[in-house]
A and B are shown apart, each in its own frame.
Chain A
Amino acid sequence: MVLPYYVSPEQIMQDKAEYAKKGIAKGRSSIAMEYSSGILLVADNPSALNKISEIYDNIAFAGAGRYSEFENLRKAGIRHADLKGYLYSREDVTARSLANAYSQSLGTSFSQDVKPLEVEILVVGLGEQDHPNEIYRITFDGSIYDEKGFTVIGGRSEALIIFLKEHYKGASGVTEVLKLSIEALGGVTNQAINANGLEVAALDRTRQGRKFKRFIPEEISELIKKSGES
């Protein structure tokens, strides 16, 4: 008879966390940053597969790490939001409730599944009528962080956060914020970032109804050109 070997719970959790962190650090980073009329989401993502997505009228999502896993989470989030909006009303769909649901799911998966999810996700909610914006970062183990101003997920996020802490000067225009994000991404990866290698979207308060806007490559180039002039 083979004896079952004993591994302490601490050891299991530590191994899982290390495994997940390694997977997430391998990928590229995404940044969320407040600007004067909303929140800008910038992902270092040359592929056609999106990392940033609309969830609801005032809510957007960004994922980092293993694509198949955060894509599943993104879809689950849209279902959660649409169901809630259909059951109650559009204004009852909130970023906080969604972030909580994500936290629950990720937390449960981390403690129960053999393989933890190698993802880090962002849920951002656009504040309206004097309500502040909400930026939630949720990590692989379900920990949830309420961030102010900006945050970074995936890749070398810690280095990026240090850079942005130094250079982020509060919510300015969209071109300045995009420029800063590109500088940060380029500086940390030591690569020139051009419009084709970026995925950019925003929750823009000036829009009617659904606030999410995805920028097409031509618009990104235009914004980059403008930021160079200013």
Chain B
Amino acid sequence: MCAFPLEDQTSSFSEYLSSHYPHLLQVQKSGIPPLQFLKAEPTLSESFERPPLIPRGTTVLALRHGDGAIIAGDRMATEGFQVSARRIEKVYKADEYSAIAIAGAAGPCIELARLFQTELEHYEKLEGAKLSTDGKANKLGQMVKANLAMAVQGLIVIPIFVSYDLKRQEGRIFKYDITGGRYEETEYYATGSGGKDARNTMKKSYKRDMTEDEAVALALEALYDASEEDVATAGPDLIRGIYPTIKMVTRQGIQDVDEQRIKQVYNIIIERRRVA
């Protein structure tokens, strides 16, 4: 017995898993029986009787600016009308130049983010070259599509992908649907339960070629509005000191936006909105 198989040709980690260790992937070919209590949007009475047992992440967004793109998400996960986590992370570094943020069932979301990270690094090491931005975006689409059987059961996983394209010298944003459909956005996008509210805010104030500071401020304002309109989205938690997270991708690579900076932006927004 060989300690590991030598005859594989694929450069894809998820392909490798599905051919050698299918049990490690969440979706198995046999499919899973319908789980009524996992419905995406239970009616009010259903929720009281049979609360959905799966934590769900809520609002994530991305927007482009002159030097690249930023991607952000609030920190709350909910189970029906209960808060299941206040400090969950929805924005993940995918590689040196890209990040994903995911809305939907928290477990599969985190799993997808981890698998995608491994996928990109795996390809880079095997091939000795990074995947192109379109290559990464397409691969993510295939991974979302692989989750389709679970999505129709209610375990929806919807990512937003941002990447700095070194060839085109610009930030790019991709959104997805549950079938793995991949659509490029040229300005901004938001998804999750408060996605529509966040989009409204960005729609009003978005300008082409904003500075990075303006983009960060707009992203935080959009998340704030989403938290006001959507009960499942958290605003800044001043008491516990929990703030949304933002990552930015530029020519210099990926970077976290400092929490202090986020706090300052929120102080300004709150002062402006405060009723005297």
Q: Spell out B's residues near A (CB within 8 Å).
A: 1-6, 8, 13, 16-17, 21, 24, 114-115, 118, 121-122, 125-126, 128
Contacts and interface: CB of A to CB of B under 8 A. Distances in A.
A108 interface: yes
Nearest to A72: B6
Contacts, number: 56
Interface stretch (A5-13, A17-25, A49-57): A49-57
Interface stretch (A32-40, A81-89, A160-168, A177-185): A81-89
A interface residue count range (under 10 / 10 to 19 / 20 to 34 / 35 or more): 20 to 34
Given A75-B8, A76-B5, A76-B6, A53 B125 contact: yes
B56 to A, nearest CB: 24
A49 to B, nearest CB: 9
A188 interface: no
A82 B122 contact: yes
B118 A82 contact: yes
Interface of A: 50, 53-55, 72-73, 75-80, 82-83, 85-87, 100-102, 104-105, 108-109, 210
Given A76-B6, A210-B121, 20 more contacts: A53-B125, A72-B6, A73-B6, A75-B8, A78-B125, A78-B126, A79-B5, A80-B3, A80-B4, A82-B13, A82-B121, A82-B125, A83-B16, A83-B21, A86-B13, A86-B17, A86-B24, A101-B3, A105-B3, A105-B6
Contacts of B6: 72-73, 76, 105
A50 B128 contact: yes
Where chain B touches its partner, the secondary structure class is helix
A102 B3 CA distance: 7
Contacts of B24: 86-87
Given A82-B118, A85-B118, A101 B125 contact: no
A86 B118 contact: yes
B75 to A, nearest CB: 23
B4 A76 contact: yes
A82 B24 CA distance: 13
A160 B24 CA distance: 46
